[in-house]
Structure 1
């Protein structure tokens, strides 16, 4: 249930704001809903993760707060162009966290594990 709710995160971008929402049935203490008006966006700040990767945060003018820029979204390049258009911030250096081919490899590994698990269960039940 938690996994489904987490994977149901929605990124909504319009002329006025960027908003992150979750389904209403997802428990409120797991939700991290937020919205930020384009007029409030001050900058994009690069931060290095503990694993050596890079993430970006949208910083706000009115509140000393930062919001994680969603990178696992459909048509990430369009999102970046839209942010540049609405804020004027240079986003030419921003790249998605994971490339599409990484997900294909993960899918292949998952299917392989399912096949092996199925074979083991088959052997246990029918032998």
Structure 2
């Protein structure tokens, strides 16, 4: 997979023109997580109606809709690299209190440290000269190319840095999610016919 790269000419305030590389979350990951969300939540209002649950189905639909918007916003993350800095941004419609981006000038990067996750995987943090940590996004398209750019800008050896999850893992999850969606369709049809 190749990263989506956009070149922008410099603004009137910038003297030299520079190139920005923009890396977005993999479409496979976005599709898989959105489908999984739908498969886990959409049957709930139907089941609530059939079982006469104390929570009204309309309230569940509202919650599901808001959750879908929040998930889509979180999956709209973009990593931007240019000559001056690396940064993580979100679309303007995503409130900053929900998902806050960050920017770190290359001159402030002191190190790239790894940490073990609760599931046994490895994540990496940029450590700034002030000691603050910035999580290196690992689910973007063109991750290897992004890491090479990081190495070129910082001089930090990135040879051993690998993505958190391989594409085949998400393909398996997507296949399981599609099976779950079929079960959901059967569950919803059964619930509607019984009502």
Deviation at 1:116, TM superposition (A): 1.2
Runs of 4+, deviation exceeding 6 Å: none
Structure 1 position 126, deviation (Å): 4.6
- Bigger relative contact order, structure 1 or 2 (CA pairs below 8 A, ≥6 apart): 2
TM-score between the two structures when normalised by the length of structure 2: 0.61
Question: TM-score with structure 1 length normalisation?
Answer: 0.92
> Is 1:10 the equivalent of 2:82?
no
Task: State the secondary structure of the residue aligned to 1:58.
Answer: strand
Structure 1 runs not aligned, ≥5 long: none
Instruction: Report the structure number with the largest CA radius of gyration.
Output: 2
Please report how far the alpha carbon of residue 113 of structure 1 lies from its aligned counterpart in structure 2 after TM superposition.
0.6
Aligned-partner SS, 2:170? helix
Instruction: Count residues with an aligned counterpart.
Output: 126
> Displacement of 1:50 after TM fit?
2.1
Deviation for aligned residue 1:55: 0.8
Q: Does 1:53 align with 2:133?
A: no
Question: 1:1-127 residue pairs with structure 2 within 5 A?
Answer: 1-61=69-129, 63-126=130-193
Cα displacement (A) at 1:124: 3.7
- With 42-51 and 77-86 compared, the bigger mean Cα shift is at 42-51
Question: Which structure carries more helix by proportion?
Answer: 2
Cα shift at 1:54: 1.1
Deviation at 1:125, TM superposition (A): 3.4
More strand by share: 1
